[in-house]
Structure 1
């Protein structure tokens, strides 16, 4: 069972893409900020008291950890997208009914977004596929 909430326009798609873009931009800003901070620290260190090699290695390890986290998040996003695509392909041609019974129809096409899928029924109605809807 899958729930559907009806939508009246394509604002859902725009909001989904806007949210994904904002979160990726934030990750890149954090990553870029970390790099700038590390380079500035190395440039401005006191030549008479350079950074201890242990501290330097710890900073490099932190840098590596941040980079790996960003790459892991990107891979997880790809896996989630693949799951949405698999779900989308399996519901085309099936009948969809909303939990309240107001929206019913055969799924003609499915649109995949970063945070979910939207089913387009034969009558042109667009519904977000989420918990509580019946697909038969």
Structure 2
């Protein structure tokens, strides 16, 4: 929310995370192969419960859709981070320097980070991690 006095809005920084594929999780292809094998080798005199099969398939579909949503959210977060970083250029910021003291300067550029590298703003020629910026205002 904008500050009534200075017209500045606080900027929160979030680090995007990625998902890690675990070896103990079943993938889509593995699930489908197991389902086909189960149907192929079932006993004709004692067929598998179709309700249970449908339930498993529906659960798998839900998980697949949730994974798609998570990927879309990650893309939206990256776009939002890029937009926020671009809006900081030319703004006066207050940040905490290496000694812990508050310092102020004008942002000339912002380098977006990755999962392993924090985003950094260039403030009056100094490299300042975005996490150290405490206030953003008009230049």
Q: TM-score range by the shorter chain?
A: 0.5 to 0.7
Q: Is the 8 A contact 2:105 2:123 kept in 1?
A: yes
TM-score w.r.t. the length of structure 1 is 0.66
List runs of 5+ in structure 2 lacking aligned partners.
Answer: 1-9
More helix by share: 1
TM-score w.r.t. the length of structure 2 is 0.65
Q: Is the 8 A contact 2:88 2:136 kept in 1?
A: yes
CA distance 1:30–1:114, change in 2 (3 Å): farther
Aligned twin of 1:47: 43
SS in structure 2 of the partner of residue 125 of structure 1:
strand
List runs of 5+ in structure 1 lacking aligned partners.
Answer: 5-15
**Separation of aligned partners in 2, 1:2 and 1:29:** 39
| RMSD value, Cα | 3.3
CA distance 1:31–1:111, change in 2 (3 Å): farther
The structure with higher relative contact order (CA 8 Å, sep 6+) is 1
Instruction: Compare CA radii of gyration and give the structure with the larger one.
Output: 2
**Separation of aligned partners in 1, 2:24 and 2:90:** 43
Q: Give 1:31 deviation, angstroms.
A: 5.4
The C-alpha deviation readout for 1:79-116, integer Å capped at 9, x for no partner, is: 11121122111110112212554443221211223577
CA distance 1:113–1:47, change in 2 (3 Å): farther
CA distance 1:134–1:60, change in 2 (3 Å): same
SS in structure 2 of the partner of residue 113 of structure 1:
coil
Aligned twin of 1:90: 87
The C-alpha deviation readout for 1:31-84, integer Å capped at 9, x for no partner, is: 51x642452254145324332222221111111101100001111111111211
